[in-house]
Structure 1
Amino acid sequence: MAGESTQARLIRFLKDELAIPAASIQVALKHPEQDSNMLPMVLWQYGLITLEQLNRIFDWMETA
């Protein structure tokens, strides 16, 4: 994973650890204010992840 962007690692975490469907991630990635820091909030705002999942993502982001 050396050289892999933070966003790519985040997307892999969302798919592998939280089983977020790729289609849901694509919807959030199309959001106009999208950057890797906003992706979890956009997923949550659209109702694509739970608050518990959002907290797990933030915990992961602190250590990534």
Structure 2
Amino acid sequence: MTPKTYSQFLHFLQEELSISPASIAAAQRVHQNSDEKHKYPDPSPLSMTLWQYGLVTLEQLDRIFDWLKTAY
């Protein structure tokens, strides 16, 4: 994912889904070690982590995956 697209993804999470920056940061920390070589990691694991920790609903997760389909 390009830096611009990843930035747009984070903006979508915050502005469209009202996910707090703290929640996003917590989910990013879970994948920090596995994504060290990538400054802009794959957003799919991040999305699933948000869902697994109850930070997004299943409906929001569907919206995330719909957004990702259009971004690629």
Q: Give the aligned CA root-mean-square deviation in angstroms.
A: 1.5
Map of 2:47 onto structure 1: 40
Report how far residue 38 of structure 1 moved: 1.1
The letter for the 1-side match of 2:68 is M
User: TM-score by structure 1 length?
Assistant: 0.84
Q: Which sections of structure 2, spanning at least 5 residues, go unmatched? A: 36-40
Bigger relative contact order, structure 1 or 2, given CA contacts below 8 A and separation 6+? 2
Report how far residue 53 of structure 1 moved: 0.2
What per-residue deviation string (whole Å, max 9, x for no partner) do you get for residues 9-46 of structure 1? 11100001011011100000001345322111010001
User: TM-score by structure 2 length?
Assistant: 0.76
Q: How many residues matched? A: 61
Within 5 Å, give how 1:1-64 maps onto structure 2.
Answer: 4=4, 6-32=5-31, 33=34, 35=41, 36-64=43-71
- Aligned identity (percent) is 49
